[in-house]
Structure 1
Amino acid sequence: MSVSWIIRKKMAASRKPMSMGDIELWKALGISAVVVLNEDHEVRHLGGLTEYINLLKSIGFKVLSTPIRDFWVPTLEEALNTVKWIDERVKQGDRVLIHCNAGLGRTGVISACYLVYSLGISWREAVKRVREMRPGSLENEIQESFIEKFEKYIRMREESL
């Protein structure tokens, strides 16, 4: 299993686990919080989404589930809520792992959104950094253009406060 640190020792990206050995690797890397972007049918080999989330919690992970259809994007509000959750965990000292199926598309979207949100960098810079750390990330134009929309969305929200 390949785990890519998008922000060293703070936020990582990965594919979904295929076995308990993969989950044990996360523990060995000091991961303490997991963002699950899979839909139920994608984790049937782990008992389905509810069972999988309960398993992660039972072994000590903090878990956020934000199911997103494969090759697609969340809503702007879902993305914002997810990156806020990641930001809270990181500020509390947790190491956060984000995963979907292959750890590229949806995981790349949330990773790039988090960089825009937490570092205040442009969407282009965020996409570039995510792809440098995890080649193949953001698998289509819809996903890439979502990062631009997300940047505009959070900047607009900041200005209205």
Structure 2
Amino acid sequence: MGTGGLFLRRLRAKVSEEPTGFVWIEKGRLAASGYPASRSQIEWLRKKGVGVILTLTEKPLPDELKEGFGISFEHVPMKDHEPPSEESLEQAAKSIESGLGSGKMILVHCLAGQGRTGCALAAYLVDAGKVGADEAIRELRKIKPEFIEGSQEEAVRRFCP
């Protein structure tokens, strides 16, 4: 995780309760954002109804951000700006499916809420049988054009033939 990017998110968290780049993927069920860098941002997510936060950065969210909200926190580490492994995509897709299956609203995030987040969302959409890989990439980019970096597209296609 880049220290510069994390510093900027923590600075932004001092003036905004909404995490950077928050978007709905499935309204009221599945959302994406950049790194929620403060307790006030976690509280904002809780008020929106988020019951599970799936973190895709190399390190999990710090304990001081997670305590006392009644939210489940899951962590699937993925390296920034690199294609994720099939194993990590599978784990992320299953985490999303499990949370949604239990009726909880889920937020998926990495640092910027773009590359790794988009890959995990695409893996979920394909694994759940909603769409194929190329359609998942296309549909996610309609929501947020920065989803899934070019170098990560092939990993999504390999995971989701």
TM-score range, shorter chain: 0.7 to 0.9
- Structure 1 distance, partners of 2:25, 2:57, is 19
- Structure 1 distance, partners of 2:70, 2:122, is 26
Aligned residue in 2 for 1:3: 22
Give 5+ residue unaligned stretches, structure 2: 1-18
- 2:109 paired residue among 99, 103, 107: 99
For the residue of structure 2 that corresponds to 1:145, the secondary structure is helix
**Deviation by residue 1:7-62 (Cα, 9 ceiling, x = unmatched):** 2211111000122221111111101101101123xxxxxxxx36x25642542111
Contact kept? 2:122, 2:140, Cα under 8 Å: yes
The normalised TM-score by structure 2 is: 0.81
**Deviation by residue 1:116-145 (Cα, 9 ceiling, x = unmatched):** 1113311111001111112211122x2111
Aligned residue in 1 for 2:38: 19
The normalised TM-score by structure 1 is: 0.81
Q: How many residues align?
A: 142
Q: CA RMSD in A?
A: 1.7
Moved over 3 A (4+): none
Q: Which of the two has greater helix per residue?
A: 1
For the residue of structure 2 that corresponds to 1:97, the secondary structure is strand
For the residue of structure 2 that corresponds to 1:64, the secondary structure is strand
> Identity rate of aligned residues, in percent?
30
What amino acid maps onto 2:108 in structure 1?
I
